Structure 1
């Protein structure tokens, strides 16, 4: 027996190994077709082996068996490609099929094209097989080449739809090329007697294994059973020992002197040992190619969990999830929907051609109830008769006409859904299994947590850059942007605008911090609405906003501030005609010219412009110009409440009310005196004493707008008349607010009819929410009203008035102020007016 017999043995073992592997795998049409290709190669290799072993019935018979397997390979390969690429039935291969079959029949009868090899006896007792090729042998090669060209043409025509398949099939093509080259080499004298054709078959088997292992030609996802491996190992070891037992026995007798019994034991032991080694080799080789669904999916989830643990953006998590699904559950297309801010679910990512697709699933869709009932995953085949699901799928077909939805899985925890996964088409041509359910449940849990964490991280980053109250950028982020702009030499700064809300502290005192916060929010919304995408809006400090406007000129920025000022004035209309205090804004604009080495200088310029806007009377815009306001002057020594400065204005107002109601004039003087003395006894400083005296003079100035017949009515007022009298507070504020030099008295004036228990007017505030000066005015005003005669009531004794004050302490009056006032009246430190 020639030593070359080992070559077809190795080739046959390789093909049997691959064929047995596929017998244990889950099969679809493509795998069945590939098994047919392997079976054809087994026929070719076994025919060559049995021919060289000179088995019954004859060498010629086994030669034709081998030749039949060889010539059928292109046809079976075409059939495999057709199934693998999912190509519709084609007739172009029928010509080549007829040609190959006819050629085989003719050659079997007459051996016109390829003759059986010549058998030569060697000196060592073995045989050599030599092929003698004639020109007619070219014809089979041309026919085989034509069949292979049909295969190549089919792959080329479907390359766009099967890019992945083209890469996976590349090693198989190399193997086919090696196989064809091996057949051609037979004709060369250099290879005479050497089975180069069978060697090329070994190369073919290596290429096929490489395609399975490295290129993942198929997803063979079931571990080969031990029994299959045992059977394969036994058959291969039997084949080897059957071929080599004579040589092995001769070796043992010559070198070890074994007798018959010893030879039997040695051969048996060697065969068992060989079977074990071959089993281990087969098992290791198959485990690299085949994977069990559960093992592969579990590993995929582990890799996904590890991968997303380092991701902080949702897009990266979705891409990683898409990759994991495609590897573990290879559907025709995967569509991922993610929950948006409105609560609906939008198509966010998809495999295949999803560019330009827009699909929205309402958060109220009934399919979510089905998902909860089914554990988070729905197979179309199980719910296709459910009306709710049928309607949902019908809606999806309208929005996604290219995709046939087979499975829907939720990205969720127990109840909450962050997204949905749609699988279109079947999994490798097969149905989805309950094992896939477990995979999606595990994957969705990991994805849900990852997306939640990512959104929390993004929210934390966003909150760190946003002002908590107004929602615009905060000062820190604004500085970061300016610093980045300074680092970019090509950046066009444009204009920097600073907007300061005028008299906002007074607004807070009048309306409370809650109303003040609301006003800031509305102003921020107005600024953001006007700026839009043109710039960045930030809250620079409590009542100051800044705007960075890249590429915007000073005139454009000035027009912008003008629109913002108009919007703020429109906002004040909601306060009514007699608004107690309206808001305005003072704006400063500074032009940034590159390069800017220190953005703080630019901010200082805008701040200086705001200063001059306020100095010029507020509610206006000033543009910073170098040399004209470039140096900020020292602060004015402006101190509100200097009585000597504003006494003429105050007495002009009180004289106006005196002309209409002398009682109101004298009452205001008395209240001013009592309030100042109570404030002095309570420990207020001189500036506060001056302010509260002025507030006392002006607290009833609004009565100038009340009809005299109501002010001097002798009897009890009707409800309508009382409401008119109560309006004198708003009327007072309506007069004072037009005197910016006196608006510091408004908090005291507006609150002098508020009650400590919250039952007063006009705002109904209580306790220490009422400004201290207003609480002082309340005591003074009520005391003078009680001890002074009016048209509708007589006066009462001082002691009775003091007693009334003590009784209402904690209800109408501040319980801390009443004892101070009563004590100072009784001790004579406050005179009775």
Structure 2
């Protein structure tokens, strides 16, 4: 082998070894740029090697290949720095690129700047390669220096904004300095014939590799991968046999008498065995070197990932995380902060006593910016001079004076931080390394996923026990807790309060289901606020809530129920004098003595008490007593003949309006008749017919509050007067709502001036949103108004009125009701009154 040929071989091997190690790494822009730099150095080293081996086509050709790789290094290095620092600006690098390419082309043609080395025969079959440098070599140095100046300027300007990145580039500049010294060393007599430039390239590659490792862009255990160890073993065994095969073959032939074919087979087998042996030696050596660091930490991460995959409790996951960190990184103290509902980070767990420490890190703390900038981990020694970190650490020392924080790692996934890990110094006094930070970054990602999954599980578990609308416990969970409480000996007695919202169906009809849902939410909040931690609140059914109050007396339970009832009444008391429906609740209380063998009896008693509260007029509280009533009917509702009980009240009201406006009285009777007969023809049952008849009698009762001068005005009404007339709907509801026994007619009364196309009043609802009884009243009211003589208009013929109804079908009137009414009138089923 030619003299010093081993140097470019070693360099080429190092570059290829590093390149292969990155093939299995997770790559980003900086990693790809470093691989490009390695490829450029491979061209440089391989050109030098093949030149020294005098390979085809010529030594001069491989010299120019080597020179091309060398002069392209600053350009590729610039690309690496740009991606390493994430810079967009170009810094005139295009000019230096053109200059280097032009210089290479000129030198390839004329060899003006750098001449191929002189080949000196050493007499023993080896050659020496000596460079004779002339003054023109200054030009390549100047051009290369200009490109490096662009690199330096880029680093300087960006390091002012990113001090962490500036520090991480120190090994890179050390490598560039070594490379520059190596090029200068060629001209020194002491290195005459020795490829000092190739040696400096090895130093540079290792320095850049270390810079990437320091920034945690890859894991150092990639070096000990099987592929890398195999490549190293193969190359080393090849070099050994290439050097000693002649002597080896001669020994085999001399001592064993092997022939040529046998020599070839034995030599090949020996090379394979040597490669295997070298592979195991390299693997064992590297495993020994890295065992305490990344290999052990990788195993810990794997064990942690497997262990937490079966855990659903956050506390258990944090305990496992603490044990894993203590095993892999022997820190004196480990503190874990978790994100709370407000977004702040609260000290949750530590391997030393943390109960007495109350430390909260605000969510807007600037330390998170440093964490993101440094990849999710902060070392105090690297950031102690930054203003943000100094201020943050001063606050931490004030809150936790006994802890000297050396490292902060984020429990994160991408840019989302779920928690923070604080570590003090190591027990053995060593400093945290880049490998430790890689470990924290990896294990925090696993912990993030485990904690997120745990919280999702807990959320799903809680949602399965909670009512989706009000947030109170659901019926199933209420039963579970009630059964446990009733079977225990913890309390001598307890109370169950059942709270039923009065006439909630009517409230929904008046205001819509959206308003009804909001009302249930507010009622649930009132109950929960009143009960607090003294008991448990559940949504038992659609409009019924239950409250369990262990250890309370009858008087205490009634006081709670009365306060809830009062707050519910006040909840919508601000709706105004003409509020269409104010919500109230009926409460039933049942008391039991633990243990109770069948808790359903206790619920049944509370249910019975609610029934009697409803029967007594609603909006009250009843306590269940044995023998205070019979069984609850199987169905609550309006019983046959119930409306006849209310007839005196209805006719008293109509008589009052008759005293003021006789037309309104007779008009109400006519509308009640027409509406009832239309409802009968449409197929409504007897109960509905009675409701709509009484709604017809009361639909204009609000006109009692409007001046007679407006009601009986002979001419056209002014806009102000018309608004007064329109207010009779709200006035009607304002009167009826004070009569709980008659509030079932409110949906029909409030909607009798709504239009099917949505242009009516007072709510402007349309189509099927208008209650059916209101749509029936609308047809009956409009028909009677058209055929009746009024002070401001004459009556029209029945046929004309029917034609008007047909014309407005689908606009003002329900298109399904109009044909029924018109047919009944024309067939004589409905008489004209």
TM-score, normalised to structure 2, is 0.63
Q: What is the Cα deviation at residue 772 of structure 1?
A: 0.4
Q: Does 1:521 align with 2:521?
A: yes
Q: What is the Cα deviation at residue 550 of structure 1?
A: 0.9
Q: Does 1:731 align with 2:734?
A: no
The 1:398/1:758 distance shift into structure 2, 3 A limit, reads: farther
| TM alignment of 1:636-675, pairs within 5 A | 638-639=638-639, 642-675=642-675
- The 2-side partners of 1:763 and 1:610 are apart by 33
The 1:636/1:302 distance shift into structure 2, 3 A limit, reads: closer
- The 2-side partners of 1:648 and 1:523 are apart by 35
- Is the Cα–Cα contact under 8 Å of residues 641 and 742 in structure 1 kept in the other structure? no
- The 1-side partners of 2:637 and 2:683 are apart by 25
The 1:482/1:788 distance shift into structure 2, 3 A limit, reads: same
- Is the Cα–Cα contact under 8 Å of residues 507 and 516 in structure 1 kept in the other structure? yes
Q: What is the Cα deviation at residue 663 of structure 1?
A: 1.5
- The 1-side partners of 2:344 and 2:461 are apart by 24
| TM alignment of 1:151-300, pairs within 5 A | 291-300=291-300
- 1:684 aligns to what? 684
SS in 1 for 2:622: strand
| TM alignment of 1:388-403, pairs within 5 A | 388-403=388-403
Question: Can you list the C-alpha shifts for 1:319-352, whole angstroms capped at 9, x where unaligned?
Answer: 1111211221222322211111111111111233
The 1:381/1:764 distance shift into structure 2, 3 A limit, reads: farther
- The 1-side partners of 2:287 and 2:634 are apart by 85
- The 1-side partners of 2:635 and 2:816 are apart by 38
Q: What is the Cα deviation at residue 692 of structure 1?
A: 0.9
Question: Can you list the C-alpha shifts for 1:644-686, whole angstroms capped at 9, x where unaligned?
Answer: 3333222211111011111111211121122122212222122
Q: Does 1:531 align with 2:512?
A: no
SS in 2 for 1:291: helix
The 1:420/1:472 distance shift into structure 2, 3 A limit, reads: same
- The 1-side partners of 2:420 and 2:640 are apart by 65
The 1:449/1:640 distance shift into structure 2, 3 A limit, reads: farther
- The 2-side partners of 1:373 and 1:284 are apart by 37
- 2:263 aligns to what? none
The 1:718/1:415 distance shift into structure 2, 3 A limit, reads: farther
- 1:422 aligns to what? 422
- Is the Cα–Cα contact under 8 Å of residues 329 and 426 in structure 2 kept in the other structure? no
- 2:799 aligns to what? 799
Q: What is the Cα deviation at residue 637 of structure 1?
A: 8.5
- Is the Cα–Cα contact under 8 Å of residues 487 and 594 in structure 2 kept in the other structure? no
- 1:812 aligns to what? 812
- Is the Cα–Cα contact under 8 Å of residues 578 and 733 in structure 1 kept in the other structure? yes
Question: Can you list the C-alpha shifts for 1:93-152, whole angstroms capped at 9, x where unaligned?
Answer: xxxxxxxxxxxxxxxxxxxxxxxxxxxxxxxxxxxxxxxxxxxxxxxxxxxxxxxxxxxx
- Is the Cα–Cα contact under 8 Å of residues 736 and 746 in structure 2 kept in the other structure? yes
- Is the Cα–Cα contact under 8 Å of residues 410 and 444 in structure 1 kept in the other structure? yes
Q: Which has the larger radius of gyration?
A: 1
The 1:439/1:640 distance shift into structure 2, 3 A limit, reads: farther
The 1:514/1:641 distance shift into structure 2, 3 A limit, reads: farther
- Is the Cα–Cα contact under 8 Å of residues 487 and 595 in structure 2 kept in the other structure? no
Question: Can you list the C-alpha shifts for 1:413-438, whole angstroms capped at 9, x where unaligned?
Answer: 11221111122335742332222222
- Is the Cα–Cα contact under 8 Å of residues 674 and 830 in structure 1 kept in the other structure? yes
The 1:289/1:356 distance shift into structure 2, 3 A limit, reads: farther
- The 1-side partners of 2:681 and 2:635 are apart by 33
- Is the Cα–Cα contact under 8 Å of residues 493 and 549 in structure 1 kept in the other structure? no
SS in 2 for 1:292: helix
Q: Does 1:589 align with 2:589?
A: yes
- 1:40 aligns to what? none
| TM alignment of 1:289-368, pairs within 5 A | 291-368=291-368
Question: Can you list the C-alpha shifts for 1:691-738, whole angstroms capped at 9, x where unaligned?
Answer: 111111110101111121222223333333333222211211121122
Runs of 5+ consecutive residues of structure 2 not aligned to the other structure:
1-220, 225-279
The 1:809/1:485 distance shift into structure 2, 3 A limit, reads: same
- The 2-side partners of 1:425 and 1:792 are apart by 96
- Is the Cα–Cα contact under 8 Å of residues 675 and 777 in structure 2 kept in the other structure? yes
- Is the Cα–Cα contact under 8 Å of residues 335 and 422 in structure 2 kept in the other structure? yes
- Is the Cα–Cα contact under 8 Å of residues 608 and 632 in structure 2 kept in the other structure? yes
- The 2-side partners of 1:657 and 1:686 are apart by 27
The 1:641/1:468 distance shift into structure 2, 3 A limit, reads: farther
SS in 2 for 1:678: helix
Task: Tell me which moved more, 421-430 or 472-481.
Answer: 421-430
The 1:766/1:327 distance shift into structure 2, 3 A limit, reads: same
The 1:692/1:425 distance shift into structure 2, 3 A limit, reads: same
| TM alignment of 1:511-590, pairs within 5 A | 511-590=511-590
SS in 2 for 1:417: strand
The 1:369/1:791 distance shift into structure 2, 3 A limit, reads: farther
- The 1-side partners of 2:543 and 2:743 are apart by 19
- 1:448 aligns to what? 448
Question: Can you list the C-alpha shifts for 1:167-222, whole angstroms capped at 9, x where unaligned?
Answer: xxxxxxxxxxxxxxxxxxxxxxxxxxxxxxxxxxxxxxxxxxxxxxxxxxxxxx9x
Q: What is the Cα deviation at residue 575 of structure 1?
A: 2.2
The 1:404/1:831 distance shift into structure 2, 3 A limit, reads: same
The 1:647/1:313 distance shift into structure 2, 3 A limit, reads: same
SS in 1 for 2:291: coil
- Is the Cα–Cα contact under 8 Å of residues 485 and 493 in structure 1 kept in the other structure? no
Q: What is the Cα deviation at residue 284 of structure 1?
A: 9.7
- 1:259 aligns to what? none
The 1:383/1:744 distance shift into structure 2, 3 A limit, reads: same
- 1:486 aligns to what? 486
- Is the Cα–Cα contact under 8 Å of residues 345 and 363 in structure 1 kept in the other structure? yes
SS in 2 for 1:323: helix
- 1:115 aligns to what? none
The 1:718/1:358 distance shift into structure 2, 3 A limit, reads: farther
- The 2-side partners of 1:414 and 1:641 are apart by 71
Q: How many residues align?
A: 561
SS in 2 for 1:422: strand
- 1:765 aligns to what? 765
- Is the Cα–Cα contact under 8 Å of residues 605 and 630 in structure 1 kept in the other structure? no
Q: Does 1:779 align with 2:783?
A: no
The 1:790/1:445 distance shift into structure 2, 3 A limit, reads: same
SS in 1 for 2:389: helix
- The 2-side partners of 1:634 and 1:419 are apart by 56
SS in 2 for 1:745: helix
- 1:751 aligns to what? 751
- Is the Cα–Cα contact under 8 Å of residues 425 and 431 in structure 2 kept in the other structure? no
- Is the Cα–Cα contact under 8 Å of residues 494 and 594 in structure 2 kept in the other structure? no
**CA-atom RMSD in angstroms:** 3.0
| TM alignment of 1:599-614, pairs within 5 A | 599-614=599-614
Q: What is the Cα deviation at residue 355 of structure 1?
A: 2.5
Q: Does 1:411 align with 2:445?
A: no
Task: Tell me which moved more, 351-360 or 630-639.
Answer: 630-639
